[in-house]
Structure 1
Amino acid sequence: MPDKALIILHVVAGATTLISGLIAAFIGKKGGKLHRQVGSVFYWAMFGVFITALLIISFVRFSAFLMVIAVFSWYMTFSGVRVLKLKKTLKPLTIDWAAAIITMAFGLFSFGMGIHYLLKTDWSSVLGYLCMFFGFFTTQTGWQNFKGFRTLHKAEKMWWWFAHMNSMCGALIASITAFAVQNGEIFRLPNEMMWLPWVLPAIVGLPLVSYWAAKYRRQFKVGKYSPAQN
């Protein structure tokens, strides 16, 4: 496949994840028909982003940023969908265990790659810090899922709702980060503020996820809002 066509496919898939992800997050009832439909689009578009990213890295040009964020985003999306299956069976399949283990291994590799970049640049590489950041959270995500698979039968009420929400929102935040970084020039930021696209999606997104989690915990009466805790 010509390089240009591959890059175009990657861009189209990325744009689709952004649009469908934002619709799923902010429009329509959670779990409703629209949410499920755009959620399916988001899942397959993210799969397209993942595959095209791997092809670009392998055959066009290597990009540590693209590799790290593509793997993190895809695993978050994959695990976010798998949890909807696990809520019924409470029995992780081989693919669930394998994906978690591979993700942990990749996260550790990314963290180590970040240290390598930082040592080469006297601790001044933005890419190095990025690899360490996503490497840490990739490893943590894989480990939390791996650990959780062993205790699904003890999970709290509506555990799958929060696991799905956290995973899909994490994937969306990562996608927005990738878009902002790759297209930073459109924001016309001064040089001293070029770091902003790297952190702003998380600064805005994570508090929103925390707010939604607290809202639904109150609604479902779980955690500290459970009648048993009062």
Structure 2
Amino acid sequence: METLHKLNILTHIVCGSAALLLGLVALVVNKGKRVHKRVGNVFLVCLAVVILTGLFGVFVFRRNAFLLVITALSGYYGFSGYRILQTKSNQPQLLDVVIALASLGTVFYFVLYMSEIGLIWAPVIIYSTVGALLAIIAYDLLRYFIPKASYRRMWLYEHIYKMIGAFTALLAAFSGTVFNAYHPYSQILPSAIGVSLQVGFILYYVRKQKRASGNVKLPGVSAFANKPLTP
């Protein structure tokens, strides 16, 4: 059993490290292009392995249950960010609702677990992580009530926010584990960087879409403008 546990940890570390490197590549390459899509797909595969090995660590090997919340947060961000790219709408889908409710269940499990053993990490880390997961689940369940006309372009911003969120959650978990002596700052700093990236990329694409909309000309306007005025 101990050998299997070590193998699980090794797989978790290797795939987690690969996901972080792939996430960095996805951030810097041209968005929507072939390389970005391929790197993003491999990132999601590595993320899935990280989630699976994390769940094994919690439920099979009975390790730190707080890893369950971090795993659920990064996994849910990644899943939801991928799904919104596929659907590009807020039409309710059974799979999305089931995964959202399952992720919500992990929060309740963790809260019950913490009520028995107490806070084992800094409260600011625990509360912010649980709060982030609850907030994104609540949004995903409430977005179905947003009028479709208003939601038309929001899918892109959702994709940006959620995929960067998945990367940030992995980075915070890595930093918090490796630099354990510097809690809670070793996890707060990656989270702050992630929020800055989310805001920066979303603002960039909002402005880009506004510029694109401003450059659209109505049919016949140019031709009319070039005609001389006659009394």
TM-score, with structure 2 as normaliser: 0.82
Counterpart check, 1:9 vs 2:4:
no
AA at the equivalent of 1:102: A
1:226 to partner: Cα distance: 7.7
Find runs of 4+ consecutive structure 1 residues off by over 4 angstroms. Answer: 111-117
**Aligned length in residues:** 212
Cα deviations by residue, 1:127-157 (Å, 9 ceiling, x for unpaired): 4442322111111111101111333623344
2:156 to 146, 153, 161: 161
Moved more, 108-117 or 77-86: 108-117
Cα deviations by residue, 1:51-79 (Å, 9 ceiling, x for unpaired): 01111112223212311100110000000
Counterpart check, 1:195 vs 2:184:
yes
Q: Which residue does the alignment assign to 1:22?
A: 24
Q: Say whether the 8 Å CA contact 1:180–1:198 is kept in structure 2.
A: yes
Q: 1:206 to 1:115 in 2, by over 3 A?
A: farther
RMSD after superposition: 2.5
Q: Say whether the 8 Å CA contact 1:83–1:163 is kept in structure 2.
A: yes
Q: Say whether the 8 Å CA contact 1:109–1:135 is kept in structure 2.
A: no
Q: Which residue does the alignment assign to 2:64?
A: 63
Q: 2: distance between equivalents of 1:198 and 1:33?
A: 32
Q: 2: distance between equivalents of 1:201 and 1:51?
A: 23
1:3 to partner: Cα distance: 1.4
Q: Say whether the 8 Å CA contact 2:90–2:151 is kept in structure 1.
A: no
Counterpart check, 1:96 vs 2:96:
yes
SS of structure 2 residue aligned to 1:30: coil
Q: 1: distance between equivalents of 2:58 and 2:202?
A: 36
Q: Say whether the 8 Å CA contact 2:124–2:184 is kept in structure 1.
A: no
Q: 1: distance between equivalents of 2:124 and 2:111?
A: 9
Structure 2 residues not aligned, in runs of 5+: 215-231
What are the residue-to-residue correspondences of 1:151-230 with 2, within 5 Å? 151=146, 153-184=148-179, 193-221=182-210
Q: Say whether the 8 Å CA contact 2:68–2:110 is kept in structure 1.
A: no
Structure 1 residues not aligned, in runs of 5+: 186-190
SS of structure 1 residue aligned to 2:62: coil
Q: 1: distance between equivalents of 2:65 and 2:149?
A: 38
Counterpart check, 1:148 vs 2:143:
yes
1:113 to partner: Cα distance: 5.1
1:207 to partner: Cα distance: 1.5
Q: Which residue does the alignment assign to 1:188?
A: none
Q: 1: distance between equivalents of 2:143 and 2:60?
A: 37
Q: 2: distance between equivalents of 1:38 and 1:207?
A: 22
TM-score, with structure 1 as normaliser: 0.82
Q: 2: distance between equivalents of 1:139 and 1:161?
A: 21
Identity among equivalent pairs (%): 25
Q: Which has the greater radius of gyration?
A: 2
Q: 2: distance between equivalents of 1:199 and 1:61?
A: 26
Q: 2: distance between equivalents of 1:39 and 1:29?
A: 12
